[in-house]
Structure 1
Amino acid sequence: MAMAAFTLQHLSFQYAGSTVPVLNDISMEIPSGKITLICGCSGSGKSTLLRRMKSILADHGRQSGKVLLDGIPLEQISEAEQAQRIAFVQQHPDDQIVTDRVFHELAFGLENLGMEQQKMRLRIAETASFFGLTDCFLQDVASLSGGQKQLLNLAAAVAMDPEILILDEPTSQLDPIAASQLLAMIQKLNVELGTTVVFCEQRLEEALPMADWLGVLEEGKLIAQGEPGKVVAQIQKKQISDSFPTSVRLFQAAGGKGSAPLTVREGRDWLKSCILKTMEREKKKHLIEQKKPLIELKDCHFRYQKEGSEVLDGISLALYPGEIYALTGANGSGKSTTLRLLCGSCRPYLGNIRINGRIAKKVQPMLYGIAALPQDPRCLLVGETVEEDLREMQADPQEEQALIERLELKELLQHHPYDLSGGEQQRLALGKVLLTKPSLLLLDEPTKGMDAHLKKKFGALLNELKGQGIAVLLVSHDIEFCAAYADRCGLLFRGKIVSEGETHDFFVDNRFYTTMAARMSRGILRDVVCGEEILQCIQR
C-alpha cells in the first residue's frame, strides 16, 4: 500500500447531546496519490467521517482518537494550511457557490490565498481550459445546470492546487451522463496530477471501478477495507450488499469465486463464461387506456423570462390514477419545471393543463390533492426536531407512527433536521409529503441519498400508494430504481418528451439511459433490463 495521506487512529465521534456514536473506533489509512472510496448505507457516518478530515468543516461534538495528515495531528495544522492542502466539494452544488459569475468563482479561493494577480490569471485560464468552462466563463452561475455547477465547484477547488481532494456524494444531483463525466474528471485529476482523492458515493456502479482502495462503513464502524474487487466479493448478506453494482450482485448470487467483476466490460466477460439458457419474458399488461387521465399537460410552452429561451417547448404528458410514471432526462432538460407546472407554481404561456378532463386556469394543489417533494428536501424542514416537523402536518397519530416505522425515522425523532444526513433529510421530507394524503404525488429526485435497502422500502411504499389509486410522477436520475418500479417512462429532451413507453420496452433498446444489466447483456442475452432476468438465465 502507498504512503498514507491521512491516518485515522481509533477515531470515534458523537454529536453534542447524543449518546450514540456516529463513528465508532475507526482505524484506517488513506493512501497518498490514490483514489479512496468510502461507502455505506444512509446514516452510516460517511459524510461525518469526511468532515473530520478538514477542521473547519468538522461537526461539533465529542471526538476521541486521532486524525493525522502526513503523520501530524490535524488540529496542529493551521486552517490556512489546510485550506491550501485540502479541498472539499460538498453534496449540494448551490451550498458552495459564493459569487455571481463563473470566473469570479474560480478566482475566489485564489484571492483568499493572497495569490499575485498575474499568477492568478494564468491559474484561472489554465483551470477553465482543463475543465471545459471556457464557453460559460462569463456566465451568471444561476444560469448553469446542476452538472455545470458541480463541475465549477470542482474546478474552483482544484484551482487552489490542493494535495488532497475530498468529495461528499458529488454526483447526487446529476443525471447519469453528467455524473459519468464528473467522475471521469475526478479520475483524470488523480491520474494526470497525482491528486489524492477521498470520496463517498451512493452510485457505486461507476464509483467502485475507479477506486484503488475501499472502506465500508456500517452503523459508524469500519467493517472492511482493501482493494475494491476483493472487498465486495467478501461482503455478503449485509445491507450495503444491495447497493453494489449489478455485476457484483449477480456474481455473488451465482456463487462466483475470486475477485468480483466491477465494470460492464468485466461483467460481460464473466457472463460469457457462464452457461446460459434463454428466457421468455411475460408481457405485462398496462391498462391505462381503460382509465381517464387524472392530469394532463397539452402542448405546454414555458420560459422563465419573456425574451428567454424555451424551457418547455410543447410538452404533452398524461398521468393516470394508480400508475407510477418516471420522467428521465439530462440536467437542464426541463424536468423540475414540468413539476412546477403540475403543482401550480408556474403557468404555461401556451397550451393548457387539464385536471379530470377539464381545463384548469389555475392549478390549486390543496383543492386537487397535489403534493410535491422538491429536489432539496430542506425546503420542507422547519421544526426544531424531526418529531416537531412531522407533528406540523397534524395527521392521524397512528398513520404518523406507521410512517415513522416505514421510513426508519424512529431513532431520529429528537434530532434537529439539519443534523441529519442527506438521505435522512430526504426520508423526513417524504414523510411530511405523504401525510397530506395526496391523489397526485410529484417527486423530484426522491431516492437521492437513499441506500439500496431504503430504496426497496420506498419502492414498496410507492406500489402501495399505486394500489390505492394514487398517481405518482417520479423525476429521477436513478435509472435502476425507475426500471424496477415505474409502470411507464419518458425521456425529456430540450423541453419535449421525445420517447415514452412501458418501462421494460423503454429501457431495453436504450444505449445510455438504461440499466447496467441491459448494458452487460447486450448481444449476449435478448430482452433483458433487470439483473434478476440475467440470474434466471444462468445455469448454476
Structure 2
Amino acid sequence: MEILQIKDLSFRYPGAERNAVEEVSFSVRSGEFLVVCGESGCGKTTLLRLLKPELAPAGELTGSIVYGGGERTPADIGYVLQNPDNQIVTDKVWHELAFGLENLGLPTEVIRRRVGEMASYFGNQDWFRKRTDELSGGQKQLLNLAAVMVMQPKVLILDEPTSQLDPIAASEFLATLQKLNRELGLTVILAEHRLEEVFPDADRVLLMDGGRILLCDAPERIGAALPAGHPMRAGLPSAVRIFQSLHIPDRCPLTVREGRDFLERHFGSRGGMLPEPEYRHGEAVAVELKNVWFRYERDLPDVLRGTSMQVYAGELYAVLGGNGTGKTTMLQVIAGIGKAYRGKVLVDGRLIREYRGNSLYHGLLALLPQNPQTVFIRDTVRADFYEILEAHGVPKQEREKRVSEAAARFGIAHLLDRNPFDLSGGEQQKCALAKVLLTGPRILLLDEPTKGIDAGAKQVLRDILTRLKADGMTLLMVTHDVEFAAETADRCALFFDGEILSADTPSRFFGGNTFYTTAANRMARTLCQNAVTCGQVVRFCTEGTDA
C-alpha cells in the first residue's frame, strides 16, 4: 500500500527567482526505507518539510501530497531535525519523552506506560532523569528519535540526523533506525549525506539535483545510473566507488563485507604495503599546547587534562574523537575564548596572553565554529561580508572586489543576497568559511567543517584547503569525517579523555585503527593495511605494492 503519493510538486520561497522543488513525483510504500540524497541546496530539506504540513515553509506551492493512511493527524508523520538542540524543548529527558503525549491530552497512566516502553526500547534508562543539556550529541539525537516514536507515527522523516555525530554514535543511531524499520515495519524517509551505512538497508534511493528527481532506484543500481562526472559519485559508499573505478564484471558491493569479498575474489593473491613517502614538516611551530588544563567552572570536572600538541606551520592537522571528549573546547582555548588555568598556549611562538585586545584575530588566527549560524549577524550574506571587512579596516573601494573573489572561490555568488538563516546547512557552512577567510588569517581553526555538506562540496572544500596550505596557511581541523581527514590531512590525531593520545600520517593512523578508520581501509586492510582511501585501494588493485 502506498502511504504517500506526491504528484507534480513544485515550491518556491517568497522572493526567490526559481523553484526550490520542481515537478517532483514519486510514491512511498508502507514500510519502505527510502533514502533521499543530493548536493547541498538541491531541495532535500524543503521536500521533506513539505511532507509534514505542520513544518511546511511559507511560499508558493503547486501539485499534490496525498496521505494514504486514512485521516491524517499531526502525530502520524514524525520528523527529526538535523540539529538535535533545535528540537529539544524541555529540561529533563523524561519530560521530553512525555511532552508530546501531554499535548495530546492522553491520560497519565497511558503517558507513563508509553514513556517507560520507549525508554526501555531505546536503552536510555541510565540517563532517563538527566538534564537534557548534559547529554552528548548522540544521546540528544536518540532522545529526539524516542520522543517522536512515543507518538506512534506511521511515517518517520529524518533530515540528516547524523550530521553532528561522531562515526560510532552515527552508526548506533542508524542501527536503531534500521531496527525500527525491520521490527516495526515503520516507513522511513531519510535525507542523508553519509551513504556508507544507509545504502545497504535502503529499499530505494531518491537522488535529487537542482530541485528535481534525477534518479529513484534500488541502491545497487544508482552507481551505474549516475552520470559520469556528477558530484554525487564521490558521495557513494566506498565499496560502490571502488567497484565502479575497477570496471570488473561482477555484482556491485554495497557493504564493507561485500567490498572485502569482492577485493579478495579478484585481488586475493596480492599483498603488501603501498609506498609511502616520509612526511617532512618545517621547523616553525604555529600552534602549541603544553600540559594545558581547562574546566568551564571551578566545581566542574576538567575538560582538558594535560593536553599537549604541536602543529607545525604550513601543515593541515586533523583531530578526531568522540562527541563530548573536548575537541571543540581545545579549539576555543587556542582561540582565546576559553582560558586555561594551567599550562601554556602558544600561537605563532607567543603566549596567548601576550596578544592584547583583538590583535590575535587581525591577520593571524581565525576560527570557524561548529554551528555556522553563529557567524552571521546581518540579513544578507553580502551585508555580513561587508561588515567584517569594514571591521578589519579594508577600504570601501576594495570590499566589493574581495567579496566577489570569495564568492567565486566558494561558488556562492548566487547566495550573496539571500538571508544566511534561510540557506541549507551546507550552504551556510560554505558562506561561513568564506566570511572567516575574509579576515586573511595565517592560522585557521576549523570545527567540523564538513558538517552537513555534500560530497561535491567536500571536494571543493578539500581543494580550497589544499590551496590555502600551499599559500603557507596553517590549518587545525576538528572533524568526525574520517574519509575527509584521510584524504586531506598531513597528520591525524586521536583526542580522548581530555588529551591528544597519538598523531601520525593518515596511512599509519587509520591503518592501525579498528573503529576510527575509513570504510576503504576496512575492506582492504587484509590485503594492504596502509590503503585508507578509495583512491589508494584502486591504486593497490591496479598498480600493486612494494610487497
Q: Does TM-score exceed 0.5, indicating one fold?
A: yes
Shift in Å at residue 228 of structure 1? 1.0
Q: CA deviation at 1:363?
A: 5.8
Percent of matched pairs sharing the same residue: 42
Name the amino acid aligned to 1:161: Q
Q: Which is worse superposed, 141-150 or 223-232?
A: 223-232
Say if 1:526 and 1:491 are closer, same or farther in 2 by CA, change over 3 A.
closer
- Per-residue deviation at 1:216? 0.8
- What secondary structure, in the 3-state scheme, does the structure 2 residue paired with 1:240 have? helix
1:430-449 alignment runs, 5 A limit? 430-449=433-452
Is 1:204 aligned with 2:195? yes
Check 1:349–1:431 CA distance in 2 against 1; reply closer, same or farther (3 A cut).
same
1:240 positional shift: 1.1
The separation in 2 between residues aligned to 1:251 and 1:91, in whole angstroms, is 31
Which deviates the most, 339-348 or 460-469? 460-469
Q: 1:168 to 1:365 in 2, by over 3 A?
A: farther
Q: Which residue of 1 aligns with 2:491?
A: 488
Do the aligned residues in 2 keep the contact of 1:301 with 1:349 (CA within 8 Å)? yes
Worse-matched range after superposition: 49-58 or 348-357: 348-357
Aligned: 1:473 with 2:442: no
Report the residue type matching 2:15 in the other structure: G
Q: Counterparts of 2:271 and 2:405 in 1: how far apart (Å)? A: 43
- Equivalent residue runs for 1:5-44 within 5 Å: 5-44=3-42
Asked if the contact 1:343–1:365 (Cα under 8 Å) also holds between the matched residues in 2, the reply is: no
Residue aligning to 1:371: 366
Question: CA deviation digits over 1:494-537, x for unaligned, max 9?
Answer: 11111211222111111111111100012123421111111123
1:389 aligns with 384
Contact conserved, 2:273 with 2:528, CA < 8 A, in 1? no
The partner residue of 1:300 within 283, 292, 301 is 292
The one-letter code of the counterpart of 1:218 is D
Partner of 1:403: 406
Q: Could you tell me which amino acid in structure 1 is paired with residue 459 of structure 2?
A: K
SS of equivalent residue, structure 1 residue 118: helix
Structure 2 distance, partners of 1:160, 1:61, is 29
Give a deviation string over 1:114-148, Cα, whole Å, max 9, x none: 11101111111111111111111111111111111
Q: 1:76-475, aligned counterparts within 5 Å?
A: 81-237=72-228, 238-257=230-249, 259-275=251-267, 281-288=274-281, 290-361=282-353, 366-368=358-360, 369-394=364-389, 396=398, 397-475=400-478
Residues 155 and 188, structure 2, Cα contact 8 Å, conserved in 1: yes
Q: Which amino acid aligns with 1:25?
A: E
Deviation for aligned residue 1:93: 0.6
- Distance, in Å, in 2 between the alignment partners of 1:460 and 1:279 is 30
Q: Distance in 1 between matches of 2:250 and 2:13?
A: 40
Q: C-alpha separation between the residues in 1 aligned to 2:203 and 2:56?
A: 25
Deviation, 1:468, is 2.0
- What root-mean-square deviation, in Å, do the aligned CA atoms of Structure 1 and Structure 2 show? 1.7
CA deviations over 1:227-250 (Å, ceiling 9, x no partner): 111223321412211110111111
Kindly tell me: are residues 515 and 331 of structure 1, through their superposed partners in 2, closer, same or farther at Cα, counting changes over 3 Å? same
Q: Residue deviations 1:219-270, cap 9 Å, x none? A: 1110111211122332141221111011111111112446521110111111
The answer as to whether partners of 1:459 and 1:485 remain within 8 angstroms in 2 is: yes
Which residue matches 1:55?
53
Pairwise CA distance, 1:339: 0.8
Deviations 1:190-225 (A, max 9, x none): 111111110100001112112111111011110111
Query: TM-score by structure 2 length?
Result: 0.93
How many residue pairs were aligned? 530
Alpha-carbon distance change, 282 to 399 in structure 1, aligned in 2, over 3 angstroms: farther
Structure 1, residues 360-385: CA drift from partner, whole Å, max 9, x if none?
33666842321111111000112222
Amino acid at match of 2:157: I
**Does the Cα contact within 8 Å between 1:279 and 1:536 map onto a contact in 2?**
no
Provide closer, same or farther for how the CA distance between residues 299 and 400 of structure 1 changes in structure 2, counting only shifts above 3 A. Answer: same
Q: What is the CA–CA distance in structure 2 between the aligned matches of 1:529 and 1:462, rounded to whole Å?
A: 20
CA distance in 2, matches of 1:403, 1:452: 21
C-alpha deviation, 1:465, in angstroms: 1.3
Question: How far is 1:317 from its partner?
Answer: 1.2
Shift in Å, 1:493: 0.7
Deviates more, 1:235-244 or 1:93-102: 235-244
Contact 1:293 1:318 in 2 (8 A): yes
State the partner residue of 2:65.
67
Contact 1:89-1:167 within 8 A present in 2 as well: yes
State how far apart, in whole Å, the 2-side matches of 1:178 and 1:218 are.
29
SS in 1 for 2:279: coil
Contact 2:521 2:529 in 1 (8 A): no
State the secondary structure of the residue aligned to 2:388.
Answer: coil
Structure 1 Cα separation of the partners of residues 26 and 204 of structure 2: 11
What secondary structure does 2:47 align onto? helix
Query: Residue 279 of structure 1 contacts residue 537 of structure 1 at CA under 8 Å; is this kept in 2?
Result: no
**Letter of the aligned partner of 1:390 in structure 2?**
F
What are the superposed Cα offsets for residues 452-510 of structure 1, whole Å, 9 maximum, x if unpaired?
11111111111111122211111101100000010111101111111211222111111
Secondary structure, counterpart of 2:179 in structure 1: helix
What letter matches 1:383 in structure 2? R
Between the aligned partners of 1:185 and 1:61, the Cα distance in structure 2 is: 35
